[in-house]
């Protein structure tokens, strides 16, 4: 990648890492399920009038939107509201790459290599270490919700992979993200009415604060539209594996920003777990490129000479 694009990929990772701090701040102003619903409404409503709907069947909007919007973000916001720290949430959520491998094997019959299996064991070992450490002083259900949210992200990734495999033309990532954002609001609003109650939502909407509005604007526009728009642009210029590796910078940015802004403390056990998770995800996500087979003898410049030697 060109140095300018390396800086751009790093900037996106920083935006997404700091996003967890912003979510933590925004949850002080909104109930979690309502906050997640408003995120998608804000991301979709202005942009949907300027971006043409991707030429994919409508079912893919639902097959991605439900696990990604309702599953991942709904459970993540709930887990963070219940006490899951922002820095650890950014780390645990990166296990989506490993869940993607698992679901791709089960649903798309993609083979699991030894390198991927080893990476999964290391990364999930780190997640287990986080669970043991966090469970001693924090609410374990909050940690479980974040892990399940990561698995929902993995399921959405497999749906997007299948969609791209069957699409007649390359799917614009930003346009798809915007139109997909029309799917989660209604289910999330319904869940918010049932579990959070209309009074909580009405109180949040009638007592808006500058902090709450700023948090919503950050996660809807900067993190979603700008982040995914630039990410899709990089994906079109470079190999997906090259760009995807920069997502491993999200947890370090998330952990450090949570320490600086929110005062979160990260002990030695959690740093060790972070190394295991990031290292395992890196090992499991990267595929070694196989060298191209040598051309047949008749296509090599010295092919005739070698064939004559072979006949002698």
- With 60 as the cut, is the pLDDT of residue 296 above it? no
Per-residue pLDDT reduced to its tens digit, 92-150: 888 887 888 888 888 888 887 777 778 778 878 888 888 777 767 778 899 999 999 99
In order of 5, 107, 310, the CA distances from 302 in angstroms are 41, 47, 12
- With 70 as the cut, is the pLDDT of residue 306 above it? no
User: What is the Cα–Cα distance from 12 to 166, expressed in whole angstroms?
Assistant: 28
pTM above 0.75, yes or no: yes
């Amino acid at each position: 990648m060109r140095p300018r694009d390396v800086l751009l990929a790093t900037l996106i990772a920083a935006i997404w890492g700091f996003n967890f701090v912003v979510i933590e701040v925004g949850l002080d102003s909104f109930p979690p399920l309502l906050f997640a619903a408003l995120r998608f409404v804000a991301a979709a409503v202005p942009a949907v009038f300027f971006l043409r709907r991707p030429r994919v069947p409508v079912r893919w909007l639902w097959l991605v939107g439900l696990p990604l919007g309702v599953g991942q973000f709904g459970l993540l916001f709930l887990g963070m509201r219940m006490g899951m720290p922002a820095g650890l949430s950014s780390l645990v959520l990166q296990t989506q790459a490993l869940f993607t491998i698992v679901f791709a094997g089960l649903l798309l019959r993609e083979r699991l290599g030894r390198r991927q299996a080893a990476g999964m064991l290391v990364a999930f070992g780190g997640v287990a270490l986080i669970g043991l450490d966090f469970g001693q002083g924090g609410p374990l259900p909050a940690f479980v919700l974040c892990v399940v949210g990561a698995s929902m992200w993995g399921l959405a990734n497999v749906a997007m992979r299948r969609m791209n495999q069957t699409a007649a033309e390359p799917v614009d990532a930003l346009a798809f993200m915007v139109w997909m954002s029309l799917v989660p609001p209604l289910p999330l609003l319904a869940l918010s009415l049932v579990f959070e109650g209309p009074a909580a939502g009405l109180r949040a909407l009638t007592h808006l604060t500058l902090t709450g509005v700023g948090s919503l604007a950050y996660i809807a526009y900067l993190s979603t539209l700008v982040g995914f728009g630039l990410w899709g642009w990089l994906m079109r210029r470079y190999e997906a594996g090259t760009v995807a590796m920069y997502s491993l910078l999200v947890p370090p940015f998330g952990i450090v920003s949570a320490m600086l802004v929110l005062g979160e403390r990260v002990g030695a056990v959690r740093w060790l777990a972070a190394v295991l998770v990031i290292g395992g995800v890196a090992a499991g996500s990267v595929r070694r490129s196989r060298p191209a087979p040598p051309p047949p003898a008749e296509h090599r410049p010295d092919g005739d000479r070698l064939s004559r030697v072979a006949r002698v």
